[in-house]
A = this chain, B = another copy of it.
């Protein structure tokens, strides 16, 4: 009796689980090259088509990386690799879910900013300042948005928790912010945003975690409240 195939779900799903299992058990190390699609298909007793679907699935999840002409490799399995898909959530969420996402972001961003205030190095602080001044030196919404993103990304990095930074990155994905910011900034929120960023910066310079936490929470909270009113007005 060959019981290698418990017959649960589709063969592709099984293949996904098996490869995931191999990585989980340490039989496949980060960065390691996998057998070819053809060999893998034979090993698991499925067709190449199904195996390709499994590989594609693990690729979009950030677990595997396929290099055309070279082979299939396990990613480094770092936070950035695995949490890239988090952006999809932000991009496809709508209505009340956007508020919930901003609430999560408020919690994490304020924590990250507080941590950054305690740990940030002079070099990192200089980088933050660079984006702050660049942001204040233009009126082009696109440029402002780019530096705004970089500003918060730098702070998240300084917090020292790559996983948290990766999640925040996803919660601030370009399309997500573009959708929300668009309306927000149309109401002349530029000045307020500048003040809030300045407050965050001051707290970082002073290495004052509590002030940083409060400033960041207020910053995200502003947008959150605005979005809340927008949604209730529509209803």
* A residues with CB within 8 A of B: 12, 16, 20, 23-24, 49, 52-53, 56-57, 59-61, 63, 77-79, 82-83, 85-86, 88-89, 91-94, 97, 100-101, 103-104, 107-108, 111, 161-164, 167, 175
Instruction: Assess whether B104 is in contact with A78, with CB atoms less than 8 Å apart.
Output: no
Chain B residues within 8 Å of A91, by CB = 20, 24
Give the oligomeric copy count. Answer: 2
Bound form: Cα–Cα A187–B104 in Å: 34
A53: which of B52, B88, B108 is its contact (CB, 8 Å)?
A: B52
B-side contacts of A56, CB under 8 Å: 12, 53, 56-57
Residues B77 and A82 in contact, CB atoms below 8 Å apart:
no
Cβ B107 vs Cβ A93 within 8 A: no
**Contacting residues, chain B, for A78 (C-beta < 8 A):** 97
Residues of B within 8 A of A61 (CB): 60-61, 85, 88
Check if B100 sits within 8 Å of A162, measured CB to CB: yes
State A59–B167 Cα separation when bound (angstroms).
21
Contact in complex: A103, B57 (CB < 8 Å): no
